[in-house]
Structure 1
Amino acid sequence: MNKSVSRLGTLLLVVFIGISPAMAQRNKSKVKGPEKPKLVIGIVVDQMRYDYLYRYWDKYSKDGFKRLMGEGFNFRNNHYNYVPTYTGPGHASIYTGTTPAMHGIVGNDWYNRATGRNIYCAEDKSVQTVGSTTAAGQMSPVNMISSTITDELKLATNQKSKVIGLSLKDRGSILPAGHAANAAYWFDGSNGNMISSTYYMQELPAWVQAFNNRKLPEQYTSQPWTTLLPVAQYTESTSDDQAFEGTFTGEEKPVFPHNIPALRGKTFDILRSIPAGNTFTKEFAIEAIKAENLGKNTVPDFLAMSFSTPDYVGHQFGPNSIEVEDTYLRLDQDLADFLKFLDKQLGKENVLIFLTADHGAAHNPTYMQQLRIPAGNTNNGLMADSLKKHLNRTFGAADWVSAFVNQQVYFNHAVVESKKANLVALQEETVRFMQRFPGVLRSFSADALMKSHWSKGVGMLVENGYMPYRSGDVMVAFQPGWYENYGRGLPKGTTHGSPWAYDTHIPLLWYGWQIPAGESTVHTEIIDIAPSIAAWLRIQEPNGSTGRALLEYVR
C-alpha cells in the first residue's frame, strides 16, 4: 500500500512539473558550463591618439584597423582618468583596472626618498638577465602592488592558464603579464634578441632561442626606411623636413629615405624607431601562440602584447609627420596579417581581442604656434632652480628640493625634519610660487590631495595619479598645449603626460568572441578594460580594481 502511494506521488509530481524522469535526465546531461574564449589577446599601441583611427582611414586596408572597427565594437569616448599619462602607468592601469593611486606605478620612474635616486618602474636588481649578458633583463613586476587581470586568470584556473607578455619595451611586457605570468619577453638592442629575466625562467625556451637565431633585427635594419606610398600621397601629414622634427643620430635632415644601415651603429636599437619594430613584434607574437599552443588549452590563455615603435617614432618626429603616418599604415598591415593568422590558427570566434593605447600625444608647440594656436613648453631646469632659490630666501638655506620629475616637486624630508620646518607650509609656498611660471595652470599640494576629493576635472586626474609614499609633495598641471621640455631650444617631435584630451583620449576596440559589430560614445575609462574581461571570463576582477564592466553597452 505504501509503495503504491509512493509511486503515485512521484508520478503526480512528474506530471505536475510537466517533465518525465527520462526527459529530466536528458536535460541534466545537456547542462554546460558558461562559454569562454580560448584565448584573450590584449593589444596596446604605444602613443596612439584616438584620432589616428580616422585620420588615416582612407589609406588603411580593409583587413587591419577597419576590420577591428567594422566587425568589432568601438568605444569612441575612452579616456585615461589620471595623470601623468606615461607608458608604465598606462600599461599597469589597463591590466589592473585601477589608477596609479592604487597600483603604485606612478611614472615610468619616480624619485625614491629612501635611496635618494630615481627608481625605474620595472627594475629589480634581485634578478638576472636571461638571453643576454647585459643588465637589460634585471626587471620584474615587483613594484606593482595590485594584481592584474592576467594574475586573476592564473588564480581562477589554478595556474592552468598560460599567460605571456611581449613587447620591445620591458615595461610594456612585464606590467601587463602580471606577477604570476608564465613568461614576459622584451627586446635587447645590444644583441637583437628577445630576452627575459630569472624572475620567470632560468633559460630561454627553445622556441625563443630559435626565433632569436633567425636574426630578424639584422634583416630589418639592413635596408633604408622608405615610405609605403609615394610621399606626395601623405596628405594627412605636414610636408617632409619640418623644423620641429627630430633626426636620427648621424642624420642631417629628418627626411625620407632614412638610411637605416648607415645609421644603425653597433647595436640594433634603431629597430625600435622604425616600422619594422612592429613587424618584429607581430612575428614574435605569432611564434609565441604557435610554440606555446595558446588557445589550445582546456581553460582560457592570455597573450599581452604591446607595439612600442609608434612611441619612439612619435617622440622623434611628432604626430603630424609623414613618419608617424607611414608607421600607422604599416602597423595596419601587421594587424591584418596577425588577424589572418588567428583566423587559421584558432578562428575568430575563439579569440577575444581588445586594442587600446597607453597614452596619446601632444601636437608640437612650434607647429601649434605656427597656426596661432596657444601652446608652449616649459623649462624644467629653470623652474627647479628658481624654486630652490625662493625656498632658500623664504625658509633659510638648505637642500629643500630633491627632485622635480613627472611634473612633481619632491622635498628632502630628512632636511625638512632636521630643520624642524613645516612640511605643509613648504608645500603651500611651492604651490603659490609655481603659479608664477608661464604655462602652469594649477598646482596641488600633497596635503590638499590627502584631505580633499575631486569628482571630476584636473583635480580628479591628479588625485587618481597620487600615491603618498611614491609621488611628490607638489603636483603641477600645465595649460593645454604646454608640455615639459628638459632640453634647450625648440622642442622636437612630441611628448605626453598631461591631463588633456590629446593625451587621455585613446582607442578602445573589442573584437572576436561574442563581440557584435557596433560603437558607443558613452564615456568609458581605461580602468574599465580589466573588469570587463573578468566579467566575460566569469572570474574575479583584479584586487585593486576600481573600474566597471562594459558588457551592457556591448550587448
Structure 2
Amino acid sequence: MRSTTTLACTALLSLSATAIATATAAPAPVPAAPKLVVVMAVDGLPQEQLLRYRGQFGDGGFKRLLTQGAMFGDAHQAHGTTVTAVGHSAILTGAYPYQHGIVGNNWIDRATGKSVYCTEDTRYQYIGESTRPDDGTSPARLRVDTLGDQLRYATGNKSRVLAVSGKDRGAILLAGKTGTAYMYMEGSGNFASSTYYMQQHPAWVQRFQASKPQDRYYGKTWRPMLADADYSMDAGDTPFAISYYSESGAPDASYYKRLKEGPFVDELTLDFARAAIEAEGLGANPAGVPDLLGMSLSAHDYVNHAHGPESRMSHDHLQRLDRMLAGFFTYLDKKVGSDNYLVVLTADHGFANSAEFSQQQRIDAGRVDGKKLLNGLQTHLDASFGGGKVALTASWPNLYLEQAALDKAGIKRADVETAASRWLLAQTGIADVYTRTRFEESGATGTRIDLLLRRAWHRSESGDLVVVPRAYWAFGSGSSGATHGTPYAYDTSVPLLMMGKRWIAPGSYAKYTEVVDIAPTLAAVLGVRPPAGAEGRVLVEALQRTAQR
C-alpha cells in the first residue's frame, strides 16, 4: 500500500504532465478566410420594423439570419446626418463623416457656391447610358479607403470587389476606390457601370442587358402577398394595388423609373448579383483569395418615403424582400457552399413615421419647410446687418455663409452665427443650432446627440450652421410620406446581422454596437488591416474563437 506522500507526489506529477501537455498542445486551427464576403444594406430599414414583423418571415431569409447568425439588438448608424450616402460610407470604411467627407447626399461646394452630389464626377460617364452632370459616376469625394480596398491591397489586387445597387451612391460607396460598381439606370432599366471603372462592359454584363429582365414586370401589379388580417398592425386598412406600366403602352423611361420604387428593383438587383457571381467567379477565386460583394437593396427606402414605415406597403415590401433573401441565400449555399461565405446585413439609416401618423398617436410632429425657413432667415439677417451683406445657401440641415462677402462688409462670422441661431431657435420645429464656432471651439457636452452631430460635421464640407429639428419633425413640405436624416434613435437604430458558421457565433447580443464596427470586424476575420479611417471596434463577442486571428 502506497503512502499518502507517495500518492500526493504522483498526483502532482500527473497534474504537471497534464499542464505541460496542455501548454505544448497545438492551438486550434484558425479557419480559412471566407471565400466570399457578402455585405448587404437594406436602404431605409429601421431595426423596429425587423422586430415588429419577424413572426411573419419565412425560414430562409431574415429568420435564418436571426437564428443562425449573430443579431446585434442595439446597433446604430452613429452620426448625426442619417441619409443614404452617409450611411453607406460608414459601412465599409468604418469611419464617421468628419473623416470620410460624405456629409450628405448633397451639400454645397464652397468654391462654387453650388450644390454638389456625393458621387458626381463629370470626368466620367455611364457606359452606354445617358449621363447628366450630377449623376453618380465615381467615389472621388470619398476621402478614405474601404475594406474592399484593403482586401485588394493585401492580395495584390487579386481579390474581386464588386458592388451593385438600385442607387448609384449605394453601389459606388460600397465598392470603394478599387472595386467595381454597377447601378440601376432609371432611363433604361439596365445595370451599368461608369468609365471610372472600365471603358466598356464585360461580355456577361452585355448579355444580361440584352436579355432585358426588367421588362418582365411590365403590366404586373404589386398587391399584398399576405392575408388581410396579417396587416392589422399597420396604419390604414385599405388594400393596395400598384401597377407597372407606361402611358406609351410599352416599357419606357417612365416605366423603368416607376419600377425602381417597388419590390421588383430589388429582385433585379439580386438577379444581377447572381450573374456577377457566375461570370466573375466570386467565391471561387483562382488565386485562392477572398472576394467581396456589396449589395444595396434600394426599394424599401422609396416605399417608406412614399407611404411611411407604418404602412401596409412597407410591411408587404419587407415580407417580399425576406423571400427574395431566402432564395439568394439558397443560391449561395449551392454555388459557393454554406461553409464558405459570410453575410453581413445592415441598413444605411432608419426612418421616422410620417408626421400625420405620429400626430394621430398624439405626438408633437410636423414638417419644417426649408425654403420658407431660409427666406425668413435671410430677411432677418438683411434687417440685422444690411441687405445683401450676408449671403446664405442651404443644403439642409447645413447652412453655408459666404465668408468673402462677410469680410468685404466687415462683419464677423460669429456675430452672424449668433443672430441666425437666435432667430432659428424661435421657429416652430427647431430644437438646436450648431455653429462652426461651437464645433471648433467647444468640447463635447457628453450628450448622445452632441456626439453624433460632431461626428457628422466635416470642417471643409459641412455648413457654418447645422440646424437640428425637434424629434418627430423633419425638413420637408407636403402632407404625406415620411423621411429621415436626424440624430434621433428612430433614424439611427438599424439592423446589424452577421452569418457564417465558421466565423460567427450565433446568438443575440445586447451590447451597444455601431455600423462602423463592421469594417474592423471583417478585417479581423479576413486577416487584413482595417481601413485607415476606421474607428469601430472588432465585435469579438460574436466571433467564433477559432476565427479570432
TM-score between both structures, scaled by the size of structure 2: 0.90
Q: Deviations over 1:295-348 (max 9, x none)?
A: 112111000000001011111111111111111110001000000001101112
- Equivalent residue for 1:406? 396
For the pair 1:225 / 2:225, whether they are aligned, the reply is no
- 1:352-387 Cα distance to aligned partner (Å, 9 max, x none): 110000001101111111121221211212211111
Aligned ranges for residues 149-168 of structure 1 at < 5 Å? 149-168=147-166
CA-CA distance at 1:266 after TM superposition? 3.8
- Aligned equivalents of 1:279, 1:355: Cα separation in 2: 16
2:129 is matched with: 132
Other-structure match for 1:246? none
Q: Map 1:25-36 to 2 at 5 A.
A: 35-36=32-33
Displacement after TM superposition at 1:407 (Å)? 1.1
Deviations 1:502-522 (A, max 9, x none): 100000000014212101110
Q: What are the equivalent positions in structure 2 for 1:3-402 lying under 5 Å apart?
A: 35-135=32-132, 139-181=137-179, 183-240=180-237, 256-262=240-246, 266-267=253-254, 268-297=256-285, 298-398=288-388, 400-402=390-392
Work out whether residues 344 and 499 of structure 2, in 8 Å CA contact, stay in contact via their aligned partners in 1.
yes
Pairwise CA distance, 1:138: 5.5
Change in 2 beyond 3 A, CA 1:157/1:364: same
Corresponding position: 1:528 with 2:517: yes
Cα 1:539–1:395 change in 2 (3 A) is same
| Structure 2 CA distance for aligned equivalents of residues 195 and 369 of structure 1 | 42
The 1:138/1:386 distance shift into structure 2, 3 A limit, reads: closer
Give the Å deviation of 1:32: 7.7
Alpha-carbon distance, 1:31 to partner: 11
User: Could you tell me which of 541, 545, 549 is aligned with 1:552?
Assistant: 541
**Structure 1 residue 34, shift from structure 2 partner:** 6.0
RMSD of aligned Cα (Å): 2.0
The equivalent residue for 2:490 is: 502
Distance 1:417 1:185, change over 3 A: same
8 Å CA contact 1:446, 1:474 repeated in 2: yes
Displaced runs of 4 or more, over 4 A: 30-34, 262-265
Task: Tell me by how many angstroms 1:532 deviates.
Answer: 0.7
Cα distance in 2, alignment partners of residues 306 and 43 from structure 1? 6
- Is the 1:55–1:236 Cα contact (8 Å) retained in structure 2? no
User: In structure 2, what residue type is equivalent to 1:545?
Assistant: A
**Distance in 2 between residues matched to 1:499 and 1:338, nearest whole Å:** 33
Give the C-alpha shift of residue 51 in structure 1: 1.3
Who is 2:508 aligned against? 519
Does the 8 A contact of 1:240 with 1:321 survive in 2? Answer: no
Deviation at 1:265, TM superposition (A): 5.8
Deviation readout 1:512-547 (Å, 9 max, x if unpaired): 142121011100111111111111111111111111
Gaps of 5+ in 2: 1-19, 545-549
Residue aligning to 1:14: none
For 1:99, the aligned partner's letter is: Y
1: CA distance between counterparts of 2:223 and 2:389? Answer: 51
How far apart are 1:474 and its partner, in Å? 0.7
Kindly indicate whether the alpha-carbon contact (under 8 Å) linking 1:355 and 1:510 is maintained by their aligned counterparts in 2: yes
SS in structure 2 at match of 1:388 = helix
Cα deviation, residue 349, structure 1: 1.4
Asked if the contact 1:77/1:522 (under 8 Å) is kept, the reply is yes
1:15 matched residue in structure 2: none
Aligned equivalents of 2:127, 2:414: Cα separation in 1:
46
- Report how far residue 464 of structure 1 moved: 0.4
Partner of 1:6: none
Q: How far, CA to CA, are the matches of 2:470 and 2:159 in structure 1?
A: 45
Secondary structure of the 1:498 match is coil
Distance in 1, Cα, partners of 2:54 & 2:389: 53
Contact (CA 8 Å) 1:240, 1:256: kept in 2 or not?
no
Aligned to 1:427: 417
Q: Secondary structure at the match of 2:108?
A: strand
Cα distance in structure 2, aligned partners of 1:194 and 1:131: 10
- Deviation of 1:453 after TM superposition, in Å, equals 2.8
Match of 2:460 in 1: 469
Mapped to 2, the partners of 1:193 and 1:79 lie a distance apart of 33
Q: Deviations over 1:373-403 (max 9, x none)?
A: 2212112122111111111111111152332
Q: What displacement does 1:226 show?
A: 1.5
Contact 1:68 1:510 in 2 (8 A): yes
Q: Where do 5+ consecutive residues of structure 1 fail to align?
A: 1-17, 242-254
Question: CA 1:205–1:265 in 2, change beyond 3 Å: closer, same or farther?
Answer: closer
Structure 2 CA distance for aligned equivalents of residues 221 and 361 of structure 1: 30
Identify the residue that residue 447 of structure 1 maps to in structure 2.
437
Contact 1:137 1:196 in 2 (8 A): no
Q: Distance in 2 between matches of 1:397 and 1:377?
A: 29
Query: Structure 1's 361 and 32: CA in aligned 2 closer, same or farther, altered over 3 A?
Result: closer
CA distance in 1, matches of 2:526, 2:76: 24
* Larger mean Cα displacement after TM superposition, 261-270 or 473-482: 261-270
1:127-152 deviation line (CA, Å, top 9, x unaligned): 12213133386510000001111111
